Amino acid sequence: MIYVAWRMLTGDRAKYLSLVIGLAFSVLLMTQQGSIFTGIMMRTFAMVTDVSAARIWVMDPGVQYPDDLKPMKDSDLSRVRDVPGVDWAVPLFKSNGRARTADGNFQTVFVFGLDSSTLLGGPREFVSGKLTDLWTPDSVLVDEAGARRLNVKKGDILELNDRRAYVAGICKATPTFTSFPIIYTTYTRAVKYVPGDRRVLTFVLCSPKDGLSDAELSARISKATGLAAITKDQFIERTLRYYAKNTGIVINFGMTTLLGFVVGLAISMQTLNAFVLDNIRHFGTLKAMGATNFTIAKMVLFQAVVVGLLGYGVGVGATALFGNTAAKNSPQLAFKFTPELMLIAFCAMTLLVAIASVLSIRRVVKLEPAIVFRGS
């Protein structure tokens, strides 16, 4: 009878398509909102993931998120280096600066200063140029989205705090939450690119010696220096907690995603119910002819699962397509469609289909077969 259910479902192309499209739409709504949410949240800790070599971040204990810039003393670097178990520790300078573009406009930027000899913490992917280009005098690297914003390309000149900076290359970096352009340069040069009062050490990046866990070493550093030494994951967690607590992002996106779910539920219940109603005479006939409620329930469930799966596939596909196209056209767009999101959407879809089919199945189970003889 599953075959009959399949044919009943696909027999009317238009209705079948509208069912699938209805469900696909709600999946699209959920995953699209979820992807933008994920994308935005990932930007908040982009610095931590982009600087992948650093397993431990040392900072002022008051720092709550990557853009929360609190100064440390220059001597803190050597204090960290002195902690037993530290394999290497390098400074990372981060500050706001002001860039003046060729057309005379000012733009707030993030200036990163990398350890001049190792360039640890620098970008890894480039559109043009390479990391070691930073060793040429006055050179800086600009992130792709930022370069577009500043309207510069490799070979151009920027003015940073009234100093000349030569754009030696364009690199890839996750755009920042505030979408300020990112400028990478060496530590010694970076401090000159920002006003005097900001010329201080912001982060120390370090890595433990073999056999020592990140957690162990960070605890040791914290204890020895009184600074906050946290692992990469802890930093991410701290950042997310800050944004969740202090901004409306989570609530706002939670609401739209929930809305997507509710709209999806309404659509899928409505369309599935309408489908069952359209076929109520056939289900009644089947019941009169001796189909058990179990058989009928299986048929309805099968139909719901088929449209659910197809709707899920189309919806997820549409979201991926949207993300791809949009990302190509505007790198500023925060959009991250992760496998986790796909799984969540799948669970949500399953829940939608389950609720919708339970309601529809109740309907056919309650159906009196005697209706088949009543006037049409």
Partner 1 sequence: MGDASATAVATEPAIICRGVTKVFESDDSVVHALRGIDFEARPGEMLLLVGPSGCGKTTLLSVVAGILDQTAGEIRVYGQDVHSMKPAQKTAFRLRNIGFVFQQFNLVPSLTAAENVAVPLLLRGVKRAAAVQRGRELLTQVGLADKTEVSPLHLSGGQQQRVAIARAMAPEPRLIVCDEPTASLDGETGQHVMELLKSTAVAADRCVVVVTHDSRVFRFGDRIAEMLDGRITSIRNGAEHG
Residues that bind partner 1 (CB under 8 A): 1, 3-4, 7-8, 10-12, 281-282, 285-292, 295, 368-370, 372-374, 376
Closest to partner 1 by CB, 98 vs 282, is 282
Minimum CB separation of residue 367 from partner 1 in Å reads 11
Comparison of 20 and 80: residue with beta carbon closer to partner 1 = 20
Token pair 């070979």 in the structure block, residue: 155
Pick the closest to residue 146 from 179, 121, 190 (CA basis). Answer: 179
Nearer to partner 1, 249 or 280 (CB): 280
Single-letter amino acid, residue 335: F
The conformation of residue 65, written as its DSSP 8-state character, comes to: S
Question: In 3-state terms, what secondary structure has residue 93?
Answer: strand
Nearest CA-CA partner of 203 in 179, 227, 224: 227
SS3 97: strand
Q: What is the rounded distance in angstroms from the CA atom of residue 43 to the CA atom of residue 93?
A: 19
CB of 370 to partner 1, least distance (A): 4
Nearest to 185 by CA among 127, 109, 105: 109
How far does CA 2 lie from the centroid of its chain? 40
* Helix (H) / strand (E) containing 109: strand 106-114
Instruction: For the CB of residue 7, give the shortest distance to partner 1 in the complex, in Å.
Output: 5
Q: Which is nearer to partner 1, 209 or 281 (CB)?
A: 281
Give the tokens for residue 359: 């309601």
Smallest gap, in angstroms, from Cβ of residue 4 to partner 1? 6
> What's the CA gap between 59 and 71, in Å, rounded?
8
| Minimum separation from the CB atom of position 148 to partner 1 (A) | 54
Q: In the complex, what is the shortest distance from the CB of residue 268 to partner 1, in angstroms, rounded to a whole number?
A: 21
**What phi and psi values does residue 170 have, to the nearest 5 degrees?**
-115, 125
Q: Which is nearer to partner 1, 200 or 310 (CB)?
A: 310
Smaller CB distance to partner 1: residue 199 or 363?
A: 363
